[in-house]
Amino acid sequence: MHYFRTLSAALGLALAAFSTAAPAQESAIRDAISKRMPQLKAIDEVRAAPIPGLFEIRVNGSEIYYTDAKGNYLIQGSIFETKGLRNLTEERINKLTAIKFDSLPIKDALTIVRGNGARKLAVFQDPNCGYCKRFERDLQKVDNVTIYMFLYPILGQDSADKSKAIWCAKDKVQAWQDWMLRDQPAPTAAAMCDTSPLVRNVEFGKSFRIQGTPTLFFEDGSRIPGAIDAQQVEKQLKDAKG
């Protein structure tokens, strides 16, 4: 698509609350966009954007675009609220792709229990991700937590091979930590090992727009993309417990 314009953080316009577009406006936008851009024909929702006169178009569940009241322009990009330095588009997508912690397929994760295991954290990681290795080192400082670690090999075939070896190891948790903390690779996986959980992890992650590693999920449904230190993990665990 070559008709996109990116919104700049320099847009210093007053923000309005998200609300549903008026029926006439919604109909006009849907008609214009579906006729001119048939690839966006299946529009899930049209609603007012946080900038007056701008409207949000949502497609494929969580893809966000913006347009004017007549559908003459289509904008792809993020709206930044400069006063609070907030990426409002990212916040909206995170809300749309929020995952209830209890719905995570923990049977496909490695379960690591430290101390009393009372607090819970889920994390998607690729074994070849340098940020994940840094995160794992910091995570060793966090106690009284149950960690559901999802192998999420998205960085190429070598990541898939390493994930398979770890998943198929006799002691999966030990194999994971040996690699991430000590650079000791797991033995090559047996040919008959069932690696379907790894496939399911990738499919699950893609459906919920987990686009990088590590990505963390806490009990309150909050998501944090990227490596954070032990102090930040502790804060999130505390906040998630309310």
Three-state SS letters, 216-236:
EEECCCCEEECCCCHHHHHHH
Percent of the chain at pLDDT exceeding 70: 91
Q: Is residue 166 scored above 90 in pLDDT?
A: yes
pLDDT of res. 235: 94
Q: Which residue has the tokens 């999130």?
A: 236
Write down the pLDDT at residue 42: 86
| pLDDT score of 229 more than 70 | yes
| From-to residues of CATH 3.10.450.70 in the chain | 19-96
* Residue tagged 């289509």 (tokens): 74
- Listed residue (187, 190, 189, 123) closest to 151, CA to CA: 123
Q: What is the pLDDT of residue 14?
A: 33
* Highest mean predicted confidence (pLDDT) among 91-95, 101-105, 148-152, 192-196: 148-152
pLDDT at 122 over 50: yes
- pLDDT for the residue 99: 86
Residues counted in the chain: 242
pLDDT at residue number 20: 58
- Give pTM, 2 decimals: 0.71
Mean pLDDT, residues 230-241: 93
Mean per-residue pLDDT, 171-194: 94
Q: What are the two backbone dihedrals, phi and then psi, of residue 162, each rounded to the nearest 5 degrees?
A: -65, -40
Is domain 101-241 given the CATH code 3.40.30.10 in the classification?
A: yes
pLDDT digits (tens, 9 = 90+) for 48-100: 999 999 999 999 888 899 999 999 999 999 999 999 999 999 889 888 887 89
Q: What mean pLDDT value characterizes the chain?
A: 89
Least confident of 7-11, 32-36, 51-55: 7-11
Vertex 199, ends 196 and 204: CA angle to 5°?
125
| Res. 10: pLDDT tops 60 | no
Check whether 185 has a pLDDT greater than 70.
yes
Which has more pLDDT, 72 or 25? Answer: 72
For residue 143, what pLDDT is reported?
97
Instruction: Provide the pLDDT for residue 21.
Output: 65
CATH 3.40.30.10 maps onto the chain at 101-241
Burial group, residue 137, by CB count within 10 angstroms (0-12, 13-18, 19+): middle
- For the chain, give percent helix, strand, coil, nearest 5: 35, 20, 45
Q: Which two structure tokens, joined as six digits, stand for 82? A: 């400069």
Q: Are 148 and 104 in contact (CB under 8 A)?
A: yes
pLDDT for position 22:
77
**63 vs 60: CA distance, rounded Å:** 6
Looking at domain 19-96, does it have CATH number 3.10.450.70? yes
Predicted pLDDT of residue 4? 38
- Crossing angle of helices 172-182 and 157-167, in 10° steps, is 130
Strand partners, 86: 81
